[in-house]
Amino acid sequence: MAMPGYSLVDVLVTVAVAGCVMAMSVPRLDGALDVWRTRGAAFFVAERVGLTRMQSVRRGANVALRFEAEDGTFRLRTYADGNDNGVRGTDISSGYDPPLMAAERLDRLFPGARFGFIEGARLIDGTAVSVGDDPIRFGATRMLACAPAGTATSGTAYIRGRGSVQYAVVVLGATGRARVMRFDPVTRQWTTP
């Protein structure tokens, strides 16, 4: 009497089919991971804007979120106004305006996400992006300054993923609040995620 079971051929066919299914699903998982990491990075920047605004209100002094160039990308660092003349680059360099938090980089917190533009992206106002355009648009100093009244510098930070994922963090100056937007490369429109 023979024992019921699986032959070597049955096992090999099953392993081959499972391998093919896994090979087809990896690119989809990688694309979904890119979307989630880039989305997470955008909401992280929006939360940092909110935290900077709250620190300014709590301290009763100006506080700024500075986007500092480093290794082809940017790091985020928050500074407090130490001498009641606003947060300034020269005061940061001389130590009058101290950092409140350690510097953080998106690409280290959210691998694959970085400040920049995907091909074919448009600015929030609908203008086409040119090669070399700055993804940080908070004035020449790349600093978002918040005042104790809750207002902030108006501007936008553009964040992209590895593929065709593009987000923007838009700061409304009158309220100091940040809004996250997502760019649809098919319709070429910005929408809320």
Q: The domain spanning residue 113 has which CATH number? A: 3.55.40.10
Is 83 inside a domain boundary?
yes
Mean pLDDT, the chain, rounded, equals 89
DSSP conformation class of 86: -
Is 146 inside a domain boundary?
yes
Q: Residue 55 contacts by C-beta under 8 Å, 6 or more apart in sequence?
A: 63, 78, 80, 100, 146
3-class DSSP assignment, residue 189: strand
pLDDT tens track for 95-132: 999 999 999 999 999 999 999 999 999 999 989 998 88
Number of domains in the chain: 1
Task: Locate 13 and state its tokens.
Answer: 């066919």
- Phi and psi (nearest 5°) for 42? -65, -45
pLDDT tens track for 50-78: 999 999 999 999 999 999 999 989 999 99
Region for residue 63 given its phi and psi (left: phi exceeds 0; alpha: psi -120 to 50; beta: otherwise): beta
Helix H, strand E, coil C: the string for 88-149 is CHHHHHHCCCCECCCCEEHHHHCCCCEECCCCCCECCCCCECCCCCCCEECCCCCEEEECCC
What are the Cα distances from residue 96, in Å, to 16, 45, 57, 83?
65, 25, 20, 6
Give the domain range for residue 167. Answer: 8-191
Torsion of CA 71, 74, 79, 83, to 10 degrees: 70
Is 51 inside a domain boundary?
yes
Task: Locate 86 and state its tokens.
Answer: 């606003």
Is 90 inside a domain boundary?
yes
Amino acid 132: pLDDT: 84
Is 117 inside a domain boundary?
yes
Beta bridge partners of 122: 128
Is 131 inside a domain boundary?
yes
**pLDDT band, residue 140 (cuts 50/70/90):** confident
Beta bridge partners of 29: none
**pLDDT band, residue 176 (cuts 50/70/90):** very high
Is 1 inside a domain boundary?
no
